[in-house]
Structure 1
Amino acid sequence: MGTWNTRGLRGSTLEDLINHTNDSYRERKLGLIQKIPTPITPIEIDKSSRHITLAYFDQKSTVDYIGTVQGIPVCFDAKECSMKTFPLQNIHPHQIQFMREFEEQGGIAFIILYFTGMDEMYYLPFDQLAGFWKRMEEGGRKSFTYDEVDKGWKIRAHRDMLVHYLEAIQKDLDRRG
């Protein structure tokens, strides 16, 4: 078990680490997870470089990743947090609705949350996220804290699986019965 900093990927984003892990899962036939691109409409394109310089989002995105792990449908969003408090405004109502409906269809929905200041990653099962969301909707705090996150859901790195979340999916399945 190592930390992400010892892997020589200090400049990598959370999505880069997850994409690398997903490639490893695919190569090992453990799962097939895809990054879902957010659809955009280009407004301005730099003709010399052919790069989009201005665009807008076509529609609301659902989640960052979707796929299947050993026949189980999974979807999740990747979030980073530099403070010890995660603002729920970083998650949108349509994402909560999508994850809720995904779970109702027999899938597993969750958030991978990276507390950058502590260099710690956590699997946040949808039911726990939904609890924080409900608290906010009922007039409670509009965030949750590092201390409220169950440390038993910490994600570790394992070999080239830098965000080895399959262990947490198994734990989530086990507790569901």
Structure 2
Amino acid sequence: MGTWKSRGLRGSTLEDMINHTNEAYREKKLALIQKIPTPITPITIEKSTRHITLAYFDQKSTVDYIGAVQGIPVCFDAKECAVKTFPLQNIHEHQIRFMKEFEEQGGIAFIILHFTALDEMYYVPFRDLEKFWKRMEAGGRKSFIYDEVDKTYQIHASRDILVHYLETIQKDLTERDSAQ
């Protein structure tokens, strides 16, 4: 494999980059974050190989990742967006409900949003996500746009850490503490 570039793994999916980051965090004992497998229901299984050849995704998955960062429970979803508008239909009501309940239990919930055309990643705190969601429920726009994302929450790569979101969690915690 070639050398690492500061811009991360070109061509890799956001999920691959986050999985790599989580492994680096685990090795450095900074965080323990686990990917939650997407639940599926198999329809057809090839008898000779026992491989699932047809299945469908179960609706009620919670979030993509869950774990702890220095004793703080965290959960988040990874989302990609090719344009400057993120449709809220890409997040399900049960996920919003789970994230809200997670925060009510003292955890931190957020999404990592990658604007692929711009090659920019952002930490979107649940409070912002909830604001966009409530606006939609009240009859407002069914999406949020790039300009509405707090640019101070941009996620950068740092050496072997491709999606260095711990810095933005720290920023979020600091802002929560100062708001109390």
TM-score range, shorter chain: over 0.9
Task: Report deviation, 1:67.
Answer: 0.1
User: For residues 86 and 62 of structure 1, what CA distance do their matches in structure 2 show?
Assistant: 19
In the alignment, structure 1 residue 55 sits paired with structure 2 residue 50? no
Specify the alignment match of 1:134 in structure 2. Answer: 134
In the alignment, structure 1 residue 98 sits paired with structure 2 residue 84? no
Q: Within 5 A, what are the aligned runs for 1:19-168?
A: 19-168=19-168
User: For residues 135 and 54 of structure 2, what CA distance do their matches in structure 1 show?
Assistant: 38
Code of the residue aligned with 1:61 in structure 2: it is S
User: For residues 41 and 132 of structure 1, what CA distance do their matches in structure 2 show?
Assistant: 32
User: For residues 122 and 58 of structure 1, what CA distance do their matches in structure 2 show?
Assistant: 28
Task: Report deviation, 1:52.
Answer: 1.4
Check the 8 A contact 1:42/1:55 in 2, yes or no.
Answer: yes
Task: Report deviation, 1:59.
Answer: 4.9
User: For residues 17 and 47 of structure 2, what CA distance do their matches in structure 1 show?
Assistant: 32
Aligned length: 173
Code of the residue aligned with 1:94 in structure 2: it is H
SS at match of 2:60: coil
Check the 8 A contact 1:3/1:156 in 2, yes or no.
Answer: no
User: For residues 65 and 161 of structure 2, what CA distance do their matches in structure 1 show?
Assistant: 16
Code of the residue aligned with 1:95 in structure 2: it is Q
Give 1 or 2: higher strand fraction.
1
SS at match of 1:17: helix
* More deviation, 150-159/58-67: 58-67
Check the 8 A contact 1:112/1:124 in 2, yes or no.
Answer: yes
Specify the alignment match of 1:175 in structure 2. Answer: 175
Gaps spanning 5+ residues in structure 2: where?
none
TM-score, with normalisation over the residues of structure 2? 0.92
Task: Report deviation, 1:51.
Answer: 2.6
Against the structure 1 CA distance between its residues 115 and 128, is the aligned structure 2 distance closer, same or farther, given a 3 Å change threshold? same
> Equivalent pairs: percent with the same residue?
78
RMSD: 1.2
Code of the residue aligned with 1:139 in structure 2: it is G
Check the 8 A contact 2:44/2:52 in 1, yes or no.
Answer: yes
TM-score, with normalisation over the residues of structure 1? 0.94
User: For residues 11 and 151 of structure 2, what CA distance do their matches in structure 1 show?
Assistant: 25
SS at match of 2:157: strand
